[in-house]
Structure 1
């Protein structure tokens, strides 16, 4: 989520306060138009661009921008289907979801949610049959059937949902991954003034394959304003990790039994002056081997790298003054961490080796002309 009231975005004019040093690798985008020739690519990195109402396309090999796809208003999040053929983009300002053909990079359908809905984060089931969109101001989760991309149903929850995770596999999945569990963080509503409030229900859990899904709830810490926001699945599906932005913590929930355990607390360098909305950490990225977690600290202009074997912080790295980082994604080969920086007109990336080698000073690189919001999605294209 952004540091906003409604949909006003705090993009710093001209990237003030984010002067790039000679050590930065600044790679300009090749084009800014849709319909570009991307033939021969094996993978794309999609980035939501809130200011131009577009989806940015990046070649992860060359680290170059390849153009944009016009979508709906203030796109926030994006997810790719397992087969790589389709990307789904939430558009909070226009209350809908764009369905993008990844072969042509064109919108092939728009799913409408209706006035009064604010679709934020989006997730897809392991088999690709369902897409889940958190409708923050309606306190519901939309389920889209991907066979024809229609709105199948909405599942009501107690408070404004923000992040969604559908574990890909699990210790129970011997023959094939199951598709019958979804986790949703309940942070409240910015527009209704209930974000980051103390509540007894932090995470909603339901079976999306049921005819009428029954919602259960998981509490992180009772009687505490946890402010759960970002959520990510462990690669083996055994757990989900939650960014609690109000209490400045990372939590782990075991899928088998839904037991919650605090992983780490991120130190607040200014405990008397840090606002709770949106706070930190706001989002999470996890390595393919499940050993490393990146927590994105919006209000601190930094990321915190966590060893999930020891539950210890490796280091905290600056993303640049005024960069307002929002989302994180680690590449499938585990070599690169991408960070969306809402306060800068660029996409940041780091070497995972430098982030995890135990030494300080990981270098930040950037891809220019990408005014990111939150969403990052890796798409392996069908060949």
Structure 2
């Protein structure tokens, strides 16, 4: 099985996986199992993600899987003896199949499903295993295991070109960088990875890795290469800028296949003897989640270009396990604080795993208070402690599973609202006795005392009196004949009336506030002498 180092497609195999553009993916779950031929070895996915091609070692054939229905379509395509590695050209026109036992490469015309004459290397070939295609689709490189070299194919003519390229001892896996300048080749005999300059066709360096390196995958940006070491159950991480190993990650039993998610956030490792797939978080270079059980003796893994599905060939059970990837975390989480609560808003995940989002859960830390929605991108977490600072993460859920938590929100601190205006603690000021109280009525003709002499409030303040009089239907000059305001000594105020109907009197009494009493103000209205 094989893959290619081209940007448009996403192909992973036992030996090689290329990371293409695409959204984030999380830990996978098995959603389907497809029966194929005997001892499936390699798998490659077309650049549009519509088909997965699987090599069947013991049937000398290739099965084609429709990735929408996850079912085999058509009859197996007959190829050479014991097909192993496979890679598809960037334009999806051809699939190159390495035939391990008859030392040839079969070329499948993808639109027609037909196979042309095999590419025969003559005496130069001996146990070819894997194949990788350059990003421009112009060359295919085949690891020639027993001859310690690479065989080169011109894909325009489907003929061998040039001399074999030295590739280290017992080369097996191969990955080409996205810029097409270098090939990374695993050497199982020397426990190294040979770095080959494809322009000069020479090894520039060899990187020591784990025991029995089998598969290699290069990230889409070309920054890192991931190598499975079958005999010490690790994955070596190579920094391609320095060609040094920066991490060694323990995985399952006998890792033989590797693929990288389209966004390079996850690495998927198939372990032959533990029959499972492990996930590595590339940010930490540590295993995340639990092993995903697949079929017996998985031998290859490939990821679709959109990152929604993974295909794992199971050599021991003659099946392909279909992995679905959970949603990526929600994005742009923001929080705002209220009284013992936090309101949270976010954006939907970039990647949904091919299934609609059915719910979100927002969780506050510390404490774990939460709120949920059935699709809305906002909710409010209640029951929090005022004065405690919280951050919030959000997960997305669909039919596949639940995403990893989002990045934390901005920190917020709930608090009680500020107190409103407080009632005054001062006493109520009012007239102390009858001298300051308005009369019950005003005489229609005669004199009425409005405020008596030395009228004081209970605060000892003198009451100030203002009188406003209106006479219906009169002139300013006439009004004088209908009433008179008389102000006496010590604040005494009286009104003298002369029998005019419609007389309206407004009496306003006031006194200023003191340190312990509120200000006093009282307005009394009389019409025709009656208090209103």
TM-score, normalised by the number of residues in structure 2: 0.51
Q: Which secondary structure state, in structure 1, belongs to the residue aligned with residue 255 of structure 2?
A: coil
Q: Decide which structure has greater strand share.
A: 2
Q: Which residue is equivalent to 1:43?
A: 50
Q: Which residue is equivalent to 2:434?
A: none
Tell me, in whole angstroms, the C-alpha distance in 1 between the residues paired with 2:227 and 2:185: 10
Partner residue of 1:218 out of 206, 220, 234: 206
| Residue 61 (structure 1) shift | 1.3
Tell me, in whole angstroms, the C-alpha distance in 1 between the residues paired with 2:152 and 2:169: 17
CA RMSD of aligned residues (A): 2.6
CA, structure 1 residues 149+267, in 2 after alignment: closer, same or farther (shift >3 Å)?
closer
Partner residue of 2:192 out of 192, 202, 212: 202
TM-score, normalised by the number of residues in structure 1: 0.70
Partner residue of 1:104 out of 112, 127, 130: 112
Matches within 5 A, 1:362-373: none
- RCO greater where, 1 or 2, for CA within 8 Å and sep 6 or more? 1
Tell me, in whole angstroms, the C-alpha distance in 2 between the residues paired with 1:284 and 1:293: 7
| Residue 137 (structure 1) shift | 1.1
Tell me, in whole angstroms, the C-alpha distance in 2 between the residues paired with 1:26 and 1:202: 35
Q: Which residue is equivalent to 1:113?
A: 121
- From the CA coordinates, give the structure whose radius of gyration is larger: 2
Tell me if the contact between 1:86 and 1:101 (Cα under 8 Å) persists in the aligned partners.
yes
Matched, 1:164 2:174: yes
| Residue 109 (structure 1) shift | 3.1
Tell me, in whole angstroms, the C-alpha distance in 2 between the residues paired with 1:228 and 1:61: 34
Question: Which consecutive unaligned segments of at least 5 residues does structure 2 have?
Answer: 2-29, 37-47, 330-394, 402-532
Matched, 1:317 2:307: no
Q: Which residue is equivalent to 1:75?
A: 83
Which deviations, in whole Å up to 9, do the C-alpha atoms of 1:90-136 show, x marking residues without a partner? 00011110111111111123111335611111100111111011011
Q: Which secondary structure state, in structure 1, belongs to the residue aligned with residue 208 of structure 2?
A: coil
| Residue 340 (structure 1) shift | 0.5
| Residue 42 (structure 1) shift | 7.2
Q: Which residue is equivalent to 1:155?
A: 165
Tell me, in whole angstroms, the C-alpha distance in 2 between the residues paired with 1:346 and 1:206: 35
Tell me if the contact between 1:298 and 1:326 (Cα under 8 Å) persists in the aligned partners.
yes
Q: Which residue is equivalent to 2:151?
A: 142
4+ residue runs of structure 1 moved beyond 6 angstroms?
Answer: 354-359
| Residue 179 (structure 1) shift | 2.0
Matched, 1:308 2:308: no
Which deviations, in whole Å up to 9, do the C-alpha atoms of 1:285-321 show, x marking residues without a partner? 111010011111101111111111121211212224x
Tell me, in whole angstroms, the C-alpha distance in 2 between the residues paired with 1:24 and 1:62: 12
Partner residue of 1:353 out of 304, 313, 326: 326
Tell me, in whole angstroms, the C-alpha distance in 2 between the residues paired with 1:74 and 1:160: 18
Tell me if the contact between 2:166 and 2:202 (Cα under 8 Å) persists in the aligned partners.
no
Which deviations, in whole Å up to 9, do the C-alpha atoms of 1:201-260 show, x marking residues without a partner? 6011112233xx221332335xxx621110011022222111111221111222222122
Tell me, in whole angstroms, the C-alpha distance in 1 between the residues paired with 2:199 and 2:311: 33
Q: Which residue is equivalent to 2:334?
A: none
Tell me, in whole angstroms, the C-alpha distance in 2 between the residues paired with 1:53 and 1:151: 22
Tell me, in whole angstroms, the C-alpha distance in 1 between the residues paired with 2:319 and 2:252: 27
Which deviations, in whole Å up to 9, do the C-alpha atoms of 1:262-298 show, x marking residues without a partner? 2411266xxxxxxxxxxx1111011101001111110
Q: Which secondary structure state, in structure 1, belongs to the residue aligned with residue 83 of structure 2?
A: coil
The count of aligned residue pairs is 291
| Residue 261 (structure 1) shift | 1.8
Q: Which residue is equivalent to 2:489?
A: none
Matches within 5 A, 1:9-28: 25=32
Question: Which consecutive unaligned segments of at least 5 residues does structure 1 have?
Answer: 2-22, 30-40, 169-177, 189-198, 269-279, 364-383
Q: Which residue is equivalent to 1:94?
A: 102
Tell me, in whole angstroms, the C-alpha distance in 2 between the residues paired with 1:228 and 1:80: 24
Tell me, in whole angstroms, the C-alpha distance in 1 between the residues paired with 2:31 and 2:155: 41
Partner residue of 1:257 out of 242, 247, 266: 242
Tell me if the contact between 1:303 and 1:317 (Cα under 8 Å) persists in the aligned partners.
yes
